[in-house]
Amino acid sequence: MKKYVVEFLGTFFLVFAIGMAARSGAALAPLGIAAALTGMIYAGGHVSGAHFNPAVTLAALIRGKFAAKDAAPYVVAQLGAAALAALIVVAVAGRPLLPGSHAVGPSLVVELLFTFALTWVILNVATAKGTAGNPFYGLAIGFTVLAGAITVGGVSGGAFNPAVGLAAVIMGLEKISQLGVYLVADLAGGALAALTYKLVNGDE
């Protein structure tokens, strides 16, 4: 149970940071979001692996570094935390008058690529034998999210995470049609990263 609690808390504060940064119009929003994620990773990584993202959970499962029995509870915790955080953001900051508008094709491409990048980094810095016990894994993951938010956030909304995508729709930041992009592209990116990891590293 403690693993699920940590997944809930980490996902909650990640999504809350995203929502409040977006609604406040913070100039350094990507940096604040990456910092929140990095902190939550260091706080919970030793307990749950600090997935905070259904795409990461899928990648860890395919990679063979995660128990199948925990997959559904992890995803439920992540989605539940994202929904609750989104509702609190709406209660505190309201909903925007108009949601974001992103072209489907470019959104699919950048979401798949940066979710691949994110999960590829996670698998290599947090699950590989060659990097076991390193102190930098949280920073590597946080900076990958920062890079994605800065470079392609304007193209797709920069979710790289189906739970964040769900929250963005609840908060009114994205149209409900964009949720399909996040589900398809982000889960595909996570799965592709895991398969690539196995191709490069074998089963270890």
Measured distance CA(75)–CA(57) in Å, rounded: 8
Q: Is 93 exposed, middle or buried (0-12, 13-18, 19+ CB in 10 A)?
A: middle
Short-list 41, 46, 48, 118, CA closest to 77? 48
In tens, the pLDDT along 48-102 reads 999 999 999 999 999 998 999 999 999 999 999 999 999 999 999 999 888 889 9
Query: Is-contact 16 88, C-beta < 8 A?
Result: yes
Q: Which two tokens stand for residue 30?
A: 């990507």
Domain limits at 143?
2-201
Q: Return the number of other C-beta atoms located less than 10 Å from residue 135's C-beta.
A: 7
Q: What domain count does the chain have?
A: 1
pLDDT interval class at 173 (50, 70, 90): very high
What does the pLDDT look like over 7-58, one tens digit per residue? Answer: 999 999 999 999 999 998 888 999 999 999 999 999 999 999 999 999 999 9
The span from the CA of 45 to the CA of 39, in Å, is 10
Using CB atoms within 10 Å of the CB of residue 166, give its burial: 0 to 12 exposed, 13 to 18 middle, 19+ buried. buried
CATH code at 18? Answer: 1.20.1080.10
**pTM of the predicted model as reported, rounded to 2 decimal places:** 0.94
pLDDT-based confidence at 155, cuts 50/70/90? very high
Distance CA 88, CA 19 (A): 9
